[in-house]
Structure 1
């Protein structure tokens, strides 16, 4: 026994020595490999890396260390400490990618692109046959994974690296198809091909990668909209991102069996249907993103089972009902895990629960653009981790709880576009030291803080439009030194701009103080370092005096609807002005249009309307080849319309109304094929209606009224089928109304009733149109207007029957012409007609009975024609009882003009008919008054009988009244006797 024990001890001792030796060896190996300054890879690997470097374009010299033979020390190269073979190649962009900064900060874009590798990946990478890690992400290779001619996969060789466990080619602008050879990488655990320009079929060979734990194919465009079933076989998947892969239909139910998933991103697809209750099986999920799909219905209650869920995104779907963990007792494990909840752009409803404060981990809470109602619960102030709160565009009401001021980590707050009201005081901001974004606009809130208040925050974005901040200019704004956006339009401010404003806000990027009553001089601004230009909206105030000098870094400037005067400011020839929008309409500006406006080559909208600008339109205006809207109406401009305007190929809206232009319409305007509105009314143009106008095939509003146009109406005009307003009135046009006006299909069913604005938030398209006898301005309802006005011309002939097919026409005015013949019998077909004026012509015959079928007719004028017969009655005509409608038609008859018709009965019968109804009315009157009196009398008697207090009061009233009458009579009688006696004595 003792011998056996000794043997065991010896054996254990030997094992101990072995493990000590092994530990020392490993320690020596690790120690020795920590310094690899003299470690080299094999010659084959060295050559492969050098060829790879030659194939790459490295503007930032990231690969400057790739020299010599000690390749294991090179940047991005990793070697095994045991075999000293190259096993890792990490060439991802060292600059962290930020999408917002990339598109908003040119310096960041330049820095990021400069650090990106370009070129192609050389097949020499196959020399590194021991590679198990490749990361080429966030570069700009702009290369085809598939060869340019489609003959082979340019990067299919990567499928030969059988030892690969990690492959990341994301965000690197690769194009083409995914090589099927990638399916040979049987050891692959991490595959990220997302955010490239890949397209075509996804190879089924990827379904054999059963070792994958991470798969990201985001933003690829696969041919098939059907989700592949082999995804469900990857039971080892922990991370699955399929964002923006063009999948549609229902989500595969088998996905809910991948119970190892911690991240599931199916966002930005076209998935439809509801979310099944099986989603509750994915209890390991920490991130669930179903946003930007077409999912609908209610969220299943099983969502409460996801106790590890940290990030939950459902925005931009069609979900309805209440949020499960907002209903009733909100007790759920989600309260301990949920950090991000984004429900934006759905149809969720219900109240925000009082237990909202129990979600203590919540950092991002977004419920904007839903149907949530009721107040914001006071418990929201308990969410001490909250950084983002977006609740805009709901139906929230009541006051904002002052507990909101306790959210010391809050960075962004948006409660705009609700029905919130009440006072917002200093308590609401007490501890908001980190707040940078504040949006409380479009509510009924009243800001009530002291003049000396110094906010605890430094805001970058202040959006408080339609909140009551006035009448004084808010003094607390001067403490905010880093503001980029200040939007306080319609804020009830009736004050002058304070002295400190220019110092604090002279370089602001986005300023909107419009629709107030701010007076005094315009503030002066200074040049800023804004990358994409600045936006300054000072319109609809009471600013006076001259325009301030234009700045070169302003993109949009709106000074319309003020009291500004004088000429345009002088501009240094060396200053390059980048205006895209310039509005100074509705002021008192004088002088000529300066020629430097022609140098604003980026200009999209120019609105100088309703001023006192004179002179001619500069020929160089044709250089503004990006112009979409040109509005110069209501000025004193004269001369010829320059031919150069025909160069404005993108022009959609041209307003030259109410000026003094003369001559012809330039032939070059036929090139304006994008034009939708042409308003040349109220000028002195002397021309025929040009036949080439048919080239403007997109024209929807043509206004030539009050000029000197003459000749016939060109039949080519009928080729503009999109036309919905045609105004040729007050000219000298002859000939007849073309029958082809029936080709205006937009007037048949108002087919073009779509928004006609051109995307400019500070400009609303409008026209003046004479309808119902008055001039009306159409803005938001302009798209629904359909009208033909040929009045006050010398047009002859009959009204074409074909016009009766324009069943969507709302206004037709052909008055003050020489039309003859009869009113078409089918005029009742024009069901949408609201205004009809055929007065002062030579029309004859009867008024068609079908006119009474036009249900929306609210204005009618048929006066001064030769119409005859009985005036139709019934329906809408019953409401049009003004006799002047039919004045000057001596042969018309009917009750509307108090004139009987010959076909009526004899005069005796007529006399009888006039009196019989009167006797019947008297009989009905007396028959009704008897029972009425009886009911009233019995009601009063009944009340007096049963209501003792009322009975006493009534008799007391009668007694007092009788006493007063007796006293009055006695006094009057005494006075009369005395007066009579005095007269007798005097006699």
Structure 2
């Protein structure tokens, strides 16, 4: 009987095996068989690849072998052989583009992969290509990631078909600018993760209704989406809002405080909330105390006012509280007076920097025993900080107290209970002695004790700091003595070292560790001797910025600049260097800012500097350079913003090539021996006719990674000043103290954004152009000590920003134009012009029998009758016509006639000429 059932059992087993998938389980009866990819899907993948650009052959495995399941980025089902996963996420990095990335377009051939559940093409470059609409037909998709792909246009409504989708990531596609609605979202009922960071949603008016009706949504990021809010919109979504939401990021938008009305009525499950960089201008609601599950709260970068709500002490899960960059204020002691709630045990990161908090830092801050980061920098805190503040903070890793008026007074043998990673005590008063407690800290990567009133030598033990150190700032103290050698093992790669503005002296040591330093600032000290240490470097150095200015360094420059060809900033100004500039300096092909002023350099500017085509600033002023101003400057340095060659021995004429410097904002060639005429093409310096800050634009264009605030020493209103923060706004031409001759080119008045023009102490002659009034932003004008003649143009009186004027020592004549601005200047501005008259000079003009027209209000002569401004204009025009035939033949006749005219007629004639010039300009 047992044998009778055997065929039946075999048949039953076979039927079960055939229907295993339908029944939800399977039998693997063929353990030796291998599942291979479907040929149709293989062909679809090959067609997809044909539309890609693969510069580094990342997908080379796709070119060989028939089993596509073994190709790069492909996963197949072990059961069916269908392609279920396509993961071509690039290994793209900010520092250096990875060798694994794709370009081109996303081909419709992907529709051949109908069993696809996972698609990741992120961090590739499909620049400008539209969002692939057909993806909405891949209805089995559960995971879709197209972030960082540079796709453009709109998001297709077909995405509504992806009802199984649980994760959608479209962040950093800021060319998706034509998104008018989010109607497709409401059909994605399975969606748990949604990130649309930097997608432009400014045209979407009902975004809260859509995103908050997704029942499964847990993670929502709509940061930097240009979102705005109105109260009715937000209140309308409260009834059906998602109750599962744990992360909400709406930072970087245009949200106002009405967002809070929706927030506290729509969800109570939030764990992480980011509302930073919006337009929140109100106090922080006490209702935050009801969000019991909150772990991270970021409200930085708003305009919040008031204090920190005491209800925060009830948030037993809150680990990170970020309130930086607001207008919060009050006494911190008021907030800390309630330090008895469960926040005491949960808070790990407290960042309230850049606010208006006052008073002392209370000792009760020490009750936050789990604190990892404390940042109260850039407030108005004052008072004493002692050991007691930190006695219980054994877990503290980051301490930021800088930019307050705090006095740190620790006992001499104090051993902190913590090991800090970051220390910022800038502008705190640390006392004259070097802080001994720093000797106990062995792990920090950042130390800032700048402007801390330390007057001491740097102790030997200090140089045995953590090998993690990447940022050291001890500037603006009174540190003195010699500088120790830094071992290469004691500095992290790309370290920034700032020891400027102290009293350090002696030779600059041969830094072994300089190879790892990206920025070294030893300026404003007392270092002396040569800079031969530079020749100890090699091609592997990371140095990008070197500032040794304002010392007493001497000798010639070493001829080993090829070793630091990556240098972006070099400042050797205000030292005692001498000799020629070595040709090897032309190997600094990355240099942008070059300062060599106020030294004793001689010879010609080396032609090798033509290779430094990225130069933005070149300042060689106050040396003994000679020869002609090199014509190649205008052709080889097209991005130059500042050219400073003042106070040298340059001769010859100005090269016309300088007119090619379309980005130039400051042109200073003063105090040389330059002859010839000012080039007519000067109007081509177009950066001086726009409001653009070409300095910042150039730095942005080259994307320099260094942190450096540049400056320039300029003669401004007769005195030498140092400009720094406002440098990019200055537009100056200074050709004074040369031997220039000829007329002032009228085209100079096209440079309408000039703020200072100095052509004094030359041999210029001719009239001052009537178009001078077009230089509407001029604040300083110096044309003194030339041979200019004729009358001062009336239009000069409309220069409302003019605060410094010098027209002295010329041959100007006639009456000084009347106007509040002009008469406010001292008489010295017009002195040594014997034929000038009128206020503010003491010599009065000989009045005509007819009243003089005055363009100031309230001084019209009531007895003028029909003799009006129009009468004089008409009379002047008739006069011009009647005498034109006689005058045209001889300039001497014109000058003779002008002398014979009455001052009234001369003024009217001048008014007409200037008006015509202004109209035709």
TM-score (norm 2): 0.74
Alpha-carbon displacement from aligned partner over 1:704-725 (angstroms, at most 9, x marks no partner): 2233322322233222232222
Contact 2:676-2:742 within 8 A present in 1 as well = yes
SS at match of 1:289: strand
Please state whether the residue corresponding to 1:304 is helix, strand or coil: helix
Q: Please, which moves more after superposition, 422-431 or 39-48? A: 39-48
What SS is found at the alignment partner of 2:255? strand
Q: Does 1:675 align with 2:615?
A: yes
Which residue matches 2:516?
554
What is the match of residue 375 of structure 1? 331
Q: Is 1:277 aligned with 2:238?
A: no
Shift of 1:661: 3.6
- How many Å separate the matches in 1 of 2:569 and 2:791? 47
Q: In 1, distance between residues paired with 2:270 and 2:732?
A: 58
Measured against aligned partners, the alpha-carbon deviations of 1:537-562 in whole angstroms (never above 9, x if no partner) come to 22222223333331335314535245
SS in 2 for 1:371: coil
For 2:388 and 2:572, the matched residues in 1 are separated by: 50
CA separation in 2, counterparts of 1:598 and 1:800? 50
Show the 5 A alignment for 1:17-36. none
Q: 1:217 aligns with which of 169, 180, 183?
A: 169
Return the offset for 1:639. 4.2
Decide which of 312, 318, 339 is 2:278's aligned counterpart: 318
Cα drift, residue 158 of structure 1: 5.3
Question: C-alpha distance in 2, partners of 1:560/1:173?
Answer: 41
Partner residue, 2:652? 711
The match for 1:837 is: 782
Partner of 1:208: 161
Looking at structure 2, the residues matched to 701 and 481 of structure 1 have their Cα atoms a distance apart, in angstroms, of: 44
CA 1:638–1:500: 2 relative to 1, 3 Å: closer
Alignment partners' CA distance in 2, 1:562 and 1:773: 25
- Go from structure 1 to structure 2 and tell me whether the alpha carbon gap of 1:760 and 1:220 turns closer, same or farther (over 3 Å shift): closer
Residue 535 of structure 1 corresponds to 496
Go from structure 1 to structure 2 and tell me whether the alpha carbon gap of 1:401 and 1:539 turns closer, same or farther (over 3 Å shift): same
1:364-403 matches, within 5 Å, as 364-376=320-332, 377-378=335-336, 379=338, 382=341, 383=343, 384-403=345-364
Distance in 2, matches of 1:761 and 1:123, equals 41
Distance in 2, Cα, partners of 1:145 & 1:850? 62
Are the aligned partners of 1:291 and 1:317 in contact in 2 as well (CA < 8 Å)? no
1:859 to 804, 809, 813: 804
Is 1:256–1:278's contact at 8 Å kept on the other side of the alignment?
no
Q: Deviations over 1:652-698 (max 9, x none)?
A: 22223233444433344344332222222233333223333321222
Tell me whether 1:734 sits opposite 2:689 in the alignment.
Answer: no
User: C-alpha displacement at 1:228, in angstroms?
Assistant: 4.4
Match of 1:892 in 2: 836
Q: CA deviation at 1:414?
A: 1.3
CA distance in 2: counterparts of 1:860 and 1:257, whole angstroms: 65
The CA distance in 1 between the partners of 2:585 and 2:242, in whole Å, is 66
Other structure's SS at 2:787 match? coil
C-alpha separation between the residues in 1 aligned to 2:728 and 2:399?
A: 35
3-state SS, counterpart of residue 628 of structure 2: coil
The alpha-carbon distance between structure 1 residues 448 and 654, as it changes in their structure 2 partners (threshold 3 A), is closer
1:255 aligned partner: 210
Structure 2 CA distance for aligned equivalents of residues 864 and 397 of structure 1: 57
Q: Is the 8 A contact 1:307 1:337 kept in 2?
A: no
**Aligned residue number for residue 910 of structure 1:** none
Deviation at 1:192, TM superposition (A): 5.4
Q: For each residue in 1:857-878, what CA deviation from the matched residue of structure 2 results, as whole angstroms up to 9, or x when unmatched?
A: 3333333222233334431223
How much does 1:224 deviate? 6.6
> Are residues 1:723 and 2:664 paired?
yes
Q: RMSD value over aligned CA atoms?
A: 4.0
The residue number in structure 1 matching 2:401 is: 440
CA 1:603/1:254 → structure 2, altered by over 3 Å: closer, same or farther? same
| Deviation at residue 472 of structure 1 after TM alignment | 2.5
From 624, 641, 644, the counterpart of 1:684: 624
Shift of 1:528: 3.1
Is residue 653 from structure 1 mapped to residue 593 from structure 2 by the alignment?
A: yes
User: How far did 1:513 drift?
Assistant: 2.0
Contact 1:812 1:836 in 2 (8 A): yes
Counterpart-to-counterpart distance in 2, 1:184 and 1:771: 68
Deviation at 1:523, TM superposition (A): 4.5
The match for 2:186 is 232
Q: Contact between 2:529 and 2:554, CA under 8 Å: does it hold in 1?
A: no
Give the secondary-structure state (helix, strand or coil) at the position aligned to 1:351. Answer: coil
Give the Cα–Cα distance (whole angstroms) in 1 for the partners of residues 245 and 732 of structure 2: 60
Cα distance 1:529–1:502, how it changes in 2: closer, same or farther (>3 A)?
Answer: closer
1:205 Cα deviation from its structure 2 partner: 5.5
Pairing partner for 2:143 from 187, 191, 216: 191
CA contact (8 A) 2:421 2:444 kept: yes
1:223 Cα offset (Å): 5.3
Q: Which secondary structure state, in structure 2, belongs to the residue aligned with residue 231 of structure 1?
A: helix
**Conserved 8 A contact 1:249-1:273:** no
Shift of 1:563: 4.4
Query: 1:234-273 CA deviation, whole Å, 9 max, x = no partner?
Result: 3344444444556553353442562523514123452421
- Per-residue CA deviations over 1:172-201 (Å, capped at 9, x if unaligned) read 868878795785555x7x535476759578
Contact preservation (8 Å) 1:533, 1:554: yes
Paired residues for 1:78-97 under 5 Å: none
Aligned match of 1:595: 535
Cα distance change, pair 610–709 in 1 and its aligned pair in 2 (3 A):
same
- 1:743 matched to 2:684? The reply is yes
- For the residue of structure 2 that corresponds to 1:296, the secondary structure is coil
Deviation at 1:415, TM superposition (A): 1.6
CA shift in 2, pair 1:784/1:41, >3 Å: same
Does structure 2 retain, via aligned residues, the 8 Å contact 1:516–1:540? yes
Largest Rg, 1 or 2: 1
Question: Structure 2 CA distance, aligned partners of 1:355 and 1:773?
Answer: 60
Mapped to 2, the partners of 1:742 and 1:519 lie a distance apart of 51
What TM-score, normalized by structure 1, do the two folds share? 0.70
For residue 349 of structure 1, give the secondary structure of its aligned residue in structure 2: coil
- Structure-to-structure mapping, 1:625-640, within 5 angstroms: 625-640=565-580
Aligned residue number for residue 766 of structure 1: 711
Q: Distance in 2 between matches of 1:215 and 1:690?
A: 62
**C-alpha distance in 2, partners of 1:247/1:435?**
41
CA drift at 1:426: 3.1
Distance (Å, rounded) in 2 between the aligned partners of 1:729 and 1:144: 54
* Residue 377 (structure 2) aligns with: 416
Distance 1:457 1:720, change over 3 A: same
The alignment partner of 2:381 has SS state of: strand
Q: 2: CA distance between counterparts of 1:370 and 1:143?
A: 42
5+ residue gaps, structure 2:
1-25, 43-68, 93-97, 850-921
CA distance in 2, matches of 1:360, 1:440: 26
Mean CA deviation greater in 144-153 or 651-660: 144-153
Alpha-carbon shift at residue 885 of structure 1 (Å): 3.0
The one-character-per-residue Cα deviations of 1:618-670 (angstroms, maximum 9, x if unpaired) are: 44425643222232333444444344444433322222323344443334434
Match status 1:788 vs 2:727: no
Tell me, in whole angstroms, the C-alpha distance in 1 between the residues paired with 2:536 and 2:78: 63
Residue 120 of structure 1, aligned match among 29, 50, 71: 71
Q: How does 1:893-972 map to 2 (within 5 A)?
A: 893-903=837-847
Is 1:302 the counterpart of 2:302? The answer is: no
Q: 1:406 deviation in Å?
A: 0.8
Distance 1:674 1:702 in 2: 13
Q: Secondary structure at the match of 1:828?
A: helix
Aligned to 1:516: 477
